């Protein structure tokens, strides 16, 4: 009988680790091909040859790639976002797709506060100036007494709320979550235009969909305060990067801290480079030792469950 083969592309999962052992004890054969940099479609097709299930990072699993993986039955993303997978095509092909909702919420929330502090006090610019031989002494701003606007009300946004409140911030949120689920008395809810107008800091925590692609563009930045800082730990394409650069250079908003961008790694020719007030980080919001360990364990458990027809977190 042919063994059930599992492809693992998440780069922090290794042969012989806890996840590998769990999958092998479950009777599965594991194949490790860590995703480092980019793979073209043909490389992905080759990697999926003879594979029944995949535990994946942000591999672009398009309709064409999936159609050329005839044995594939299960895909599990070791994270929350799953926009890299064509879930509709997977459904048509009978492939179960799962994510891990809330798996890195605490990590993302703490990181968000770090970006807020770094932006408010211009810590990156200060350290860079010292490294260049200068001694910057520019005034920063305090978080206390300011308003944080959260776009989205998922697990990471909800985890930000008590941290922001501990810093003395008021919190307003824009979300499509039904009113009956908006039970937090520490959060004010508003539509997006109102949020943009009142927030001193705007933090993005919504999923990338056709509705949210380019959500923050020229018209959005015109609504924001000239002193406002944008933080994005969700997905790059939610922000129109050309419009953001123009807004920061024109003084429509003060700046942005971006953990995610439209093309990763950030191209050398990106317009985001060299703009005072815009700091780009390397998609690390959810990358803590604790979150990675939890994602690996839960991802492996979800993969085994999905193979047995009892997926807990299916998205299609």
Give the model confidence (pLDDT) of 120-155 as tens digits: 999 999 999 999 999 999 999 999 999 999 999 999
Which domains does the chain possess?
4-103+289-307 (3.40.50.720), 105-280 (3.40.50.720)
**Residues 47-106: pLDDT tens digits?**
999 999 999 998 899 999 999 999 999 999 999 999 999 999 999 999 999 999 999 999
Residue of 283, 292, 298, 302 marked catalytic: 283
> Is 235 annotated as catalytic?
yes
1: confidence class by pLDDT, cuts 50, 70, 90: low
Instruction: State if pTM tops 0.75.
Output: yes
Please list the residues that pair with 239 across neighbouring strands.
Answer: 216
Most distant CA atoms of the chain, gap in Å: 69
- Residue in 73, 122, 235, 298 annotated catalytic: 235
Asked if residues 8 and 33 have their Cβ atoms less than 8 Å apart, the reply is yes
Q: Is 205 a catalytic residue?
A: no
Q: What was the pLDDT predicted at 40? A: 86
Q: Are 84 and 61 in contact (CB under 8 A)?
A: yes
CA distance 173 to 165: 13
Sheet order of strands, 74-77 included: 28-32, 4-8, 53-56, 74-77, 96-98
Query: Quick one: pLDDT at residue 38?
Result: 73
For residue 229, the cross-strand partners are: 201, 255
**CA dist., res. 307 & res. 277, Å (int):** 47
Residue 18 bears catalytic tag? no
pLDDT computed for residue 177 by the predictor:
87
Which residue is catalytic, options 29, 194, 218, 264?
264
- The phi and psi torsions of 151 (rounded to 5 degrees) equal -95, 110
- Helix (H), strand (E) at residue 202: strand 201-204
Q: Which residues are CB-contacts of 212 (< 8 A; sequence separation ≥ 6)?
A: 206, 238
pLDDT number for residue 71: 98
pLDDT digits (tens, 9 = 90+) for 11-51: 999 999 999 999 999 999 999 999 877 778 999 999 999 99
Q: Which CA distances in Å does 22 have to 30, 86, 181, 300, 301?
A: 10, 28, 36, 7, 8
Provide the 3-class DSSP secondary structure of residue 176: coil
Helix (H, G, I), strand (E, B) or coil at 142: coil
């Amino acid at each position: 009988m042919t063994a059930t083969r599992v492809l693992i592309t998440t780069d922090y999962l290794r042969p012989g680790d806890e996840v590998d052992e769990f999958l092998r004890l479950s009777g599965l054969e594991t194949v490790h091909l860590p995703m480092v940099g980019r793979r073209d479609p043909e490389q992905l097709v080759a990697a999926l040859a003879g594979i029944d299930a995949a535990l994946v990072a942000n591999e672009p699993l398009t309709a064409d790639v999936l159609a050329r993986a005839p044995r594939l039955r299960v895909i599990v993303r070791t994270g929350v976002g799953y926009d890299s997978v064509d879930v509709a095509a997977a459904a048509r092909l009978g492939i179960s797709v799962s994510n891990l909702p809330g798996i890195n919420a605490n990590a993302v929330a703490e990181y968000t506060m770090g970006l807020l502090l770094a932006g408010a006090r211009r810590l990156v610019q200060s350290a860079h100036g010292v490294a260049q031989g200068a001694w910057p002494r520019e005034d920063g701003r305090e978080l206390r007494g300011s308003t944080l606007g959260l776009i989205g009300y998922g697990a990471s946004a909800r985890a930000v709320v008590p941290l922001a409140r501990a810093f003395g911030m008021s919190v307003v949120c824009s979300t499509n979550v039904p009113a009956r689920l908006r039970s937090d008395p520490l959060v004010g809810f508003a539509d997006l235009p109102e949020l943009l107008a009142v927030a001193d800091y705007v933090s993005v925590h919504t999923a990338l969909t056709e509705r949210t692609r380019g959500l923050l563009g020229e018209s959005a930045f015109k609504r924001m305060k000239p002193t406002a800082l944008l933080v994005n730990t969700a997905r790059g394409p939610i922000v129109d990067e050309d419009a953001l650069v123009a807004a920061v250079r024109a003084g429509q908003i003060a700046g942005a801290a971006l953990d995610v961008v439209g093309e990763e790694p950030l191209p050398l020719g990106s317009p985001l480079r060299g703009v005072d007030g815009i700091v780009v980080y390397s998609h690390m919001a959810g990358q803590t030792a604790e979150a990675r360990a939890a994602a690996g364990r839960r991802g492996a458990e979800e993969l085994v469950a999905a193979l047995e027809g009892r997926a807990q977190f299916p998205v299609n």
